[in-house]
Amino acid sequence: MTVQTSTSSTAASRHDALAVHSVDCVVFTVPDIEEAVKFYTAFGMDVRREGSVVELFTFGHPHCWMRVVENKQPKALQYLTFGIRAEDEAAFRAKIDQLGIGCAPHPLATRPGIWLHGPDGHPFQLVVSNKVSPNQKTPAAPARAAARGTASAPARTQVDRVFPRWLSHVLLFTPDVSGLVNFSESVLGLRLSDRSGDLVAFMHTPHGSDHHLLACVKSEGPGLHHTSWDLGSVDEVGEASEQMRNAGYADGWGVGRHVLGSNYFYYVRDPWGSFAEYSADIDFIAEGQPWQAGDYAPEDSFYLWGPAVPDWFVANTELNSKDRS
């Protein structure tokens, strides 16, 4: 049974809302930067390395979506950076000062911004930046044209490599789903899209974004479960899964379709036990669009169709990691 809770609001209130507009950058550390270069190159990213640091771009887009830093310790999320509008910077500073949750810049920080304590121990950074979350429903990739009387599917040897278009969302592990939702709403200005009790929750920005730009799932401790990357079609999702298997990354889940968000998916397990998701056709919540957030039973909250979920899919490999640089 689905219990609906109203989160509708007027266009004016959403436009004027004090809220982050994008996940600007994800920063985490890994024990071997060569492994990161190999994995994300196979995944289809524009990988730019300088010494022990890798910056991840998508081809044709100027934005740096992730920074991966080598530190010889088990993989660990270090911090998230969120984008804000220039006209909101002073209000965010005043709010964070009033709440007493400001903190010092992270040692790996490369840009100035507003630093604050997250509810699970990871710091968050707010930076004035261009909005990189989408402003409209993700456009589908052009369909393959086929002359009348010919097949539309190409031969396997003729399939092009798949390249993600942009970062769609991030899913965090948390010991307190409701606590992270409350923080995201009251401090970051995000809105609840849907949830399943205290198991999992999905949030969007009132400035317009995919069904979720930030999500969280129950665990014994904090961590990064996955980053999700936009593709143009379910065909591309399937082809990308083959691309990764052919590159030697056989562990994954999918292809399938989610219920909450409606996107087609394939998750590939990275060398550190977390995941990178290929995603296509996710729901979009426009600025000013009312959205009824649902609270779904677990069996109705995960996936509509697809293979059985592997036991290791929900394992938080950061539980034993003590490294927070």
- Position 151 scores a pLDDT of 62
14 belongs to a structural domain? yes
117 belongs to a structural domain? yes
Rounded to an integer, what distance in angstroms lies between the CA atom of residue 226 and that of residue 24? 15
Rounded to an integer, what distance in angstroms lies between the CA atom of residue 208 and that of residue 15? 9
Q: Give 142-146 contacts, CB < 8 A, sequence gap 24+.
A: 143/233, 144/235
* Cα angle 30-34-38, degrees, rounded to a multiple of 5: 105
Work out how many domains the chain is built from and give that number. 1
pTM: 0.91
pLDDT value at 129 more than 90: yes
- Please state whether beta strands 167-174 and 214-218 pair in parallel, antiparallel, or not at all (unpaired): parallel
324 belongs to a structural domain? no
153 belongs to a structural domain? no
- Position 14 scores a pLDDT of 57
pLDDT value at 9 more than 50: no
Residue type present at position 62: P
N-terminal to C-terminal alpha carbon distance within the chain: 44
151 belongs to a structural domain? no
We report the CATH number of the domain holding residue 284 as: 3.10.180.10
136 belongs to a structural domain? no
pLDDT in tens, 79-92: 999 999 999 999 99
Q: Tell me the pLDDT of the chain averaged across its residues.
A: 91
216 belongs to a structural domain? yes
148 belongs to a structural domain? no
Instruction: Name the β-bridge partners of 285.
Output: 209
pLDDT in tens, 249-304: 999 999 999 999 999 999 999 999 999 999 999 999 999 899 999 999 998 889 99
Considering only CA atoms, give the Rg of the chain.
19
Mean pLDDT of 45-58: 98
Domain containing 65: what range?
Answer: 3-131+163-314
Pure H helices in 222-301: 234-246
